[in-house]
Each structure stands twice: as structure tokens, then as C-alpha cells.
Amino acid sequence: MIIGVEHYMIVSVVLFCLGLLGVIIRRNLIVMYMGLELMLNAANLALVSFSHFRDNLDGQVMVFFIITVAAAEVAVGLALIVALYRKRQTNDVTDLTSMKL
């Protein structure tokens, strides 16, 4: 059986849903962040598979930019989590319900 674009798409969709599940059911901010990373990776996989099966490199360039932006986003987000932990001594979202620091 030949592996086509739809196989990669299904892997990508399932991975995206796993990341979404992580954001929904986990209450720890860091693990929720890992769920976000999984979702970004799923989008990357979909783009690379489109790029492969269309003989077009634009998708790969897009993935390159997504990886860069994701790295910047992780750095800033983790700095925010550390700053929040310093203020409130917790990183559990059920304790972080008030808008005021």
C-alpha cells in the first residue's frame, strides 16, 4: 500500500488533537505549554507533507519560519511562567483565576 498525503494528514490531525487534549485536561501551565508545542508540530507535519506531495518547497520554508517563531514563543512564554510563579508561588491554572496579580 502506497503511503499518500492522507496518511500523513491523519497522523497530523491525531497529533493535533492530542495536543489539544493536553491543553484541555492538564492543569499544569508547563504541560499545557507542551501541548501547544505538539499542536505546532502537527501543523508542521501537515505543511511538510503538502510540500512533499505537491513538489513545491514553499511549505518547507513556512515550516522553517514556524519553528523559529515557536522557539521565540517558548522563550517568552516560559519567562512569563517563571515571573508568574515568583508572584503567586504556583503554576496550576485552577489557582490562577484572578485577573489581579
Partner 1 sequence: MQEILFYIFSALTLLCGLLVVFNPFSRNPVTSAMFLVLTIISMSGLFVLLKAFFLAAVQILVYAGAVIVLFLFVIMLLDVKEEERRRYQKFGTFLGFAAVTGLAMLIINTINQSGAGHTLTGDGVAETKPLGKLLFTDYLLPFEIVSILLLVAMVGCILLSKREETPEAEAE
Write down the least CB distance from residue 97 to partner 1, Å: 14
By CB under 8 A, residue 88 contacts partner 1: no
**Termini Cα distance of the chain:** 57
By CB under 8 A, residue 93 contacts partner 1: no
Q: Where are the alpha helices (DSSP H) in the chain?
A: 5-25, 29-53, 58-88
* 44 within 8 A of 11, measured Cβ to Cβ: no
By CB under 8 A, residue 99 contacts partner 1: no
The C-alpha atoms of residue 58 and residue 77 are separated, in whole angstroms, by 28
Write down the least CB distance from residue 6 to partner 1, Å: 5
By CB under 8 A, residue 82 contacts partner 1: yes
| Residue among 69, 87, 78, 71 at smallest CA distance from 29 | 78
The C-alpha atoms of residue 53 and residue 49 are separated, in whole angstroms, by 6
Sites for partner 1 among residues 21-60 (CB under 8 A): 21-22, 24-28, 30-31, 33-35, 37-38, 41, 44-45, 48-58, 60
By CB under 8 A, residue 101 contacts partner 1: no
Pattern 59-78, binding to partner 1, x per CB under 8 A? Answer: -xx-xxx-xxxxxxxxxx-x
